[in-house]
């Protein structure tokens, strides 16, 4: 059995065809253990670390960081029995990267070019080196002759002739400013003041470089330098490749926007009592180690409102001409990451206690920020929340994730003048926005669902007692 094992990029999620190498966690020559993380790869779903399927020594890395690799193509090679001595020629040939013959001659040692032993040269630092680096010789330093190997005579450059001194500045000459004192007679200084000429910018042609009346007159006659025209081309543009998570998100959003007819409704809510309820939760021992935010109560409000309006938690099946109502809620939470927007979800969130829901949200957000959200956590969402309030935004009109019928935008909570018990008081107020698929949810259902979420957040303690 071969001791050389080639690890090919697996299909990390159904339907994926490629992945981008983000970072290598090992280098050629490192000894690795079974299941040790080797490389971080970003797919259209998320960034994941791929572990070694064998223990041994890394003998080759087939793709540098930043390279997009197709599913099934080699990523790295491991020698599973490095202590057994040198590889036989038949085994050693397995570590070479096979490439198509180039149409034009390629210099030996260059990536993709021929190398000793019939191999193809691989990445710098990871393959054979057949040429030595050459540094351009310094001027005047003896250098080996390419033809004879003898030492060439040092070459001394001829000095350049000094530039001619021009008495009167050219119309295109740059304006310079004198750093020392200006030599000029009092009448010349008065003339310069009267004509608005800055003597420090005038080149003197008089004795010892003093400024004369003619110099001042010439400075006035010389046209003022014009600023360089602004350019509007690629030199002032930045191009960001659309790939990975950002590419998939864009495709999904376009598909959703032009497939499901979106409707958005808004509701402004006094959440003062919700904020007080959060303070009570934070003081309880079972929540001491958890981050408890307003999102927890919004999520609970959505889950309880789904129990009263189950049709909201459904999807439109064009293939079977059916509305599929889900009896479970995989609650998606939109998360902004460095690689783009993702919407991981809490599986079967409706079955969780408030404490379990808080723990699940903490884990979801922490994993998303680290960029380690697995594809399984982003699959199967049924209903989503996007918390735009964390950015100081009041609300928005969110687009539905594909396959879902509703998404709630939760805005910033602000102290606001509010009529409370017949008097104007400063209350904690937020704005909710519910976007929904009008093929499934009509105006009445969407309004009742949003109303019940608002009612819960207005008085969560009373809602929990009366709804459950």
Cite the active site residues. 438
- Separation of alpha carbons 15 and 20, rounded Å: 16
CB 362 within 8 A of CB 333: no
Q: Please tell me whether residue 314 adopts helix, strand or coil conformation.
A: strand
The residue count of the chain comes to 468
CB 145 within 8 A of CB 153: no
- Separation of alpha carbons 292 and 370, rounded Å: 20
Compute how many other C-beta atoms are within 10 angstroms of the C-beta atom of residue 422: 5
| CA 306 to centroid of chain Cα atoms | 34
What letter does residue 154 receive in the DSSP assignment?
P
- State the DSSP string of 199-220: GGGSPP-SGGG-B-HHHHHHHH
The phi and psi torsions of 106 (rounded to 5 degrees) equal: -120, 135
CB 292 within 8 A of CB 274: no
Task: Name the nearest CA neighbour of 250 among 356, 402, 146, 109.
Answer: 402
- Separation of alpha carbons 303 and 437, rounded Å: 18
Sign of the torsion angle spanned by Cα atoms 463, 464, 466, 468? positive
- Separation of alpha carbons 400 and 247, rounded Å: 17
Sign of the torsion angle spanned by Cα atoms 114, 118, 121, 125? negative
> Strand 406-410 relative to strand 383-387: parallel, antiparallel, unpaired?
parallel
Question: Any residues with CB less than 8 A from the CB of 115 and at least 6 apart, and which?
Answer: 108, 109, 121, 127, 128, 130
């Amino acid at each position: 059995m071969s001791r050389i094992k080639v690890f090919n990029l697996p299909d990390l999620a159904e339907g994926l065809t490629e992945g981008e190498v983000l970072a290598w966690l090992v280098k050629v020559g490192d000894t690795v253990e079974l299941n040790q993380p080797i490389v971080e790869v970003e797919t259209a779903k998320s960034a994941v670390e791929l572990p070694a399927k064998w223990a041994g020594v890394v003998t080759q890395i087939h793709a540098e960081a930043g390279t997009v690799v197709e599913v099934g193509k080699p990523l790295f090679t491991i020698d599973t029995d490095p202590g057994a001595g040198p590889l036989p020629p038949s085994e050693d040939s397995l570590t070479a990267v096979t490439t198509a013959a180039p149409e034009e001659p390629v210099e030996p040692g260059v990536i993709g070019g021929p190398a000793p032993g019939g191999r193809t040269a691989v990445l710098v630092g990871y393959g054979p080196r057949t040429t030595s680096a050459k540094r351009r010789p310094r001027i005047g330093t003896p250098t080996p002759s390419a033809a004879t190997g003898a030492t060439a005579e040092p070459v001394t450059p001829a000095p350049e002739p000094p530039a001619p001194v021009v008495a009167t500045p050219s119309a295109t000459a740059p304006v310079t400013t004198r750093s020392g004192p200006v030599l000029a007679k009092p009448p010349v200084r008065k003339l310069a003041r009267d004509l608005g000429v800055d003597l420090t910018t005038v080149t003197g042609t008089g004795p010892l470089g003093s400024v004369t009346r003619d110099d001042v007159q010439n400075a006035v006659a010389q046209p003022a330098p014009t600023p360089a025209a602004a350019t509007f081309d690629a030199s002032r543009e930045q191009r960001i490749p659309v790939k990975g998570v950002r590419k998939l998100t864009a495709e999904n959003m376009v598909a959703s926007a032009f497939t499901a007819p979106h409707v958005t409704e808004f509701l402004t809510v006094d959440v003062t009592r919700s904020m007080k309820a959060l303070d009570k939760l934070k003081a309880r021992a079972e929540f001491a180690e958890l981050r408890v935010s307003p999102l927890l109560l919004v999520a609970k409000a959505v889950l309880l409102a789904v129990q009263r309006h189950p049709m909201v938690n459904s999807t439109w099946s064009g293939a079977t001409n059916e509305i599929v109502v889900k009896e479970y809620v995989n609650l998606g939470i939109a998360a902004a990451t460095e690689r783009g927007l993702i919407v991981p979800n809490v599986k079967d969130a409706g079955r969780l206690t408030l404490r379990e829901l808080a723990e699940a949200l903490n884990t979801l957000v922490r994993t998303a920020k680290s960029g380690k959200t697995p594809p399984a956590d982003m699959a199967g969402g049924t209903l989503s929340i996007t918390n735009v309030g964390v950015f100081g935004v009041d609300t928005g009109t969110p687009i539905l994730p594909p396959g879902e019928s509703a998404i709630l935008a939760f805005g910033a909570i602000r102290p606001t003048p509010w009529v409370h018990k017949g008097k104007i008081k400063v209350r904690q107020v937020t704005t909710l926005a519910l976007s929904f698929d009008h093929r499934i949810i009509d105006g009445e259902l969407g309004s009742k669902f949003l109303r019940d979420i608002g009612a819960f957040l207005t008085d969560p303690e009373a809602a929990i007692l009366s709804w459950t």
